[in-house]
Amino acid sequence: MAATVPSSSLSLVSNLHLQRWRLTSIGPRHSPASIPAPVRPHRNKGTRCLATPLLSWPACGENVAEAENLQEGRPSFKWVEVGRRATEEQRIAISNLPSKMTKRCKALMRQIICFDPQRATLSDVLADWVRIMKPSRANWLAVLKELKKLNHPAHLEVAELALLEESFEANVRDYTKLIHWYGKQNRLQDAENALLAMKQRGFICDQVTLTTMVDMYSKAGHFELANKTFEEIKLVGLPLDKRSYGSMVMAYIRAGMPEQAEILLREMDELEIFAGSEVYKALLRAYSMIGNTEGAQRVFDAIQFAGIIPDPRLCGLLINAYATTGQSDKALVAFENMRKAGIDHSDKCVALVLHSYERENKINKVLNFLIDLERDGIVIGKEASERLAGWLCRLGVVEQVELVLREYAAKETNHGLCTS
What residues contact residue 63 under an 8 Å CB cut-off, 6+ apart?
38
Cβ count near 353 (within 10 Å): 25
Domain boundary among the residues 247, 274, 301 is at 274
CA-to-CA distance for 281 and 32, rounded, in angstroms?
Answer: 69
| Judgement on whether residues 227 and 342 belong to the same structural domain of the protein | no
Tens of pLDDT, residue by residue over 238-249, are: 889 999 999 999
In tens digits, the chain (420 residues) has pLDDT values of 444 444 433 333 344 343 333 333 334 434 333 334 333 343 443 444 444 332 333 333 444 444 444 444 444 567 777 767 788 899 999 999 999 999 999 999 999 999 988 888 999 999 999 999 999 999 999 999 999 999 999 999 999 999 999 999 999 999 999 999 999 999 999 999 999 999 999 999 999 999 999 999 999 999 999 999 999 999 988 889 999 999 999 999 999 999 999 999 999 999 999 999 999 999 999 999 999 999 999 999 999 998 999 999 999 999 999 999 989 999 999 999 999 988 887 899 999 999 999 999 898 898 899 889 888 888 888 898 888 888 888 888 777 777 766 765 666 565 555 555
Q: Would residue 36 count as lying in a domain?
A: no
Tell me: do 205 and 165 sit in the same domain: no
Co-location of 260 and 319 in the same domain = no
The pLDDT assigned to 380 comes to 84
Q: Is residue 30 part of a domain?
A: no
Q: Given its phi and psi angles, is residue 361 left (phi above 0), alpha (psi -120 to 50 degrees) or beta?
A: left
How confident is the model at residue 386, as a pLDDT?
87
Burial readout 99-124 (b: 16 or more C-beta within 10 A, e: otherwise): eebeebbbbbbbbbbbbeeebbbbbb
Q: Which amino acid is at 408?
A: Y
Name the helix (H) or strand (E) containing 355.
Answer: helix 347-360
Amino acid at 296: A
Residue 147's pLDDT is 96
Residue 8 CA to residue 411 CA, distance in Å, equals 140
401, part of any domain? yes
Is 181 part of any domain? no
pLDDT at 215: 95
Of the candidates 117, 138, 170, which is a domain's last residue? 170
Q: How far apart are CA 312 and CA 349, in angstroms?
A: 8
Q: Which amino acid does the sequence have at 349?
A: C
> pTM here?
0.73
Together in a domain, 205 and 287:
no
Position 413 scores a pLDDT of 62
392, 292: one domain: yes
Neighbour tally for 324: CB within 10 Å: 19
Q: How many CB atoms lie within 10 A of CB 272?
A: 6
Assess if residue 3 is contained within a domain.
no
Same domain? 263 vs 295? no
**346-384 pLDDT, tens per residue?**
899 999 999 999 999 898 898 899 889 888 888 888 898
Point out the domain boundary residue: 252, 274, 296: 274
Alpha-helical (H) ranges within 201-327 are 207-219, 223-235, 242-254, 258-270, 277-289, 293-305, 312-324
- The contacts found for 341-346 with CB under 8 angstroms, 24 or more apart, are 341/310, 343/310, 343/311, 343/312, 343/315, 344/312, 345/312, 345/378, 346/312, 346/313, 346/316
What 3-state class would DSSP assign to 77? coil
Range of the domain at 157: 55-170
Residue 260 phi/psi, 5-degree rounding, is: -65, -35
Residue 391 sits in the same domain as residue 366: yes
Examine the domain organization and report whether 307 and 409 are in the same domain. Answer: yes
The confidence score (pLDDT) of residue 283 equals: 97
Same domain, yes or no, for 297 and 392?
A: yes
DSSP 229-246: HHHHHHHTTPPP-HHHHH
pLDDT of residue 186: 93
Assess whether 104 and 136 both reside in one domain: yes
Q: Are 268 and 282 contained in the same domain?
A: no
**Domain annotation covers residue 47:** no
Q: What pLDDT shows up at residue 377?
A: 85
Q: Which residue from 297, 310, 303, 299 is spatially nearest to 342, judged by alpha carbons?
A: 310
Domains held by the chain: number:
3
Question: Under the phi-then-psi rule, with left for phi > 0, alpha for psi from -120 to 50, and beta for the rest, what region is 164?
Answer: alpha
Taking each helix axis from N to C end, the angle separating 242-254 and 223-235, rounded to the nearest 10 degrees, works out to: 150
